[in-house]
């Protein structure tokens, strides 16, 4: 019983003394953009050399918090989407005023054909993966409720693989 109590006290002491260091390191990583956050608010792991792993959500999709033009954007990875798709509200936050958008393109969606405006995102990041000059379509808010990260981002990576409920993005 004494050994168990001693072990518990040592464990609590160690965790209490190391917590400030760990918390500081995590905050530094978040500030630098070295990690992403998945749909549940959990950290998406980032490896050295431009690799990030997203866990599959309960809905079977890979979601995460990307940084687009420096702003945090929750998005779902969609290999069936040719481009990144954002709505007008998100476009405004990313520096594209609605008055500058020209809805001259036509896009085919699961709900039919709609009008879209083409923009180029200066940078798209998640974890330690950073991609520049990524094509995107802007759709009306009513046509798109969440951001989709499509092949215009994924095709600029060295590889992306889904395995055992995780998606690995490699730059």
If pLDDT is split at 50, 70 and 90, which confidence band does 136 have?
very high
Q: Which CATH class is domain 34-170?
A: mainly beta
Parse the chain into domains and list their residue ranges. 1-32, 34-170
- List helix spans (H) across 33-98: 88-93
The model's pLDDT over 13-52, given as tens digits with 9 standing for 90+, comes to: 434 444 444 444 544 444 444 444 444 444 454 444 689 9
| Contact present, 138 and 87 (Cβ < 8 Å) | yes
pTM: 0.72
Give residue 84's pLDDT: 98
Give the span between the Cα atoms of 5 and 30, in whole angstroms.
36
Residue 130, pLDDT > 60, answer: yes
Q: Is the dihedral of CA 89, 92, 96, 98 positive or negative?
A: positive
């Amino acid at each position: 019983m004494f050994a168990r109590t001693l072990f518990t006290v040592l464990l609590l002491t160690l965790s209490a003394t190391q917590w400030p260091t760990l918390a500081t390191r995590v905050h530094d990583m978040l500030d630098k953009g070295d990690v992403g956050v998945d749909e549940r608010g959990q950290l998406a792991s980032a490896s050295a050399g431009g690799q990030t792993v997203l866990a599959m959500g309960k809905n079977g999709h890979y979601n995460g918090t990307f940084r687009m033009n420096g702003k945090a954007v929750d998005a779902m990875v969609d290999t069936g989407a040719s481009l990144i798709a954002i709505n007008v509200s998100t476009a405004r936050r990313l520096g594209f005023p609605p008055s500058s958008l020209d809805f001259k393109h036509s896009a085919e969606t699961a709900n039919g054909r709609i009008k879209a405006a083409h923009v180029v995102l200066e940078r798209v990041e998640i974890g330690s993966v950073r991609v520049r000059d990524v094509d995107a379509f802007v759709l009306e808010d009513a046509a798109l409720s969440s951001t989709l990260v499509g092949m215009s981002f994924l095709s600029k990576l060295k590889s992306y693989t889904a395995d055992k409920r995780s998606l690995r993005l490699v730059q």
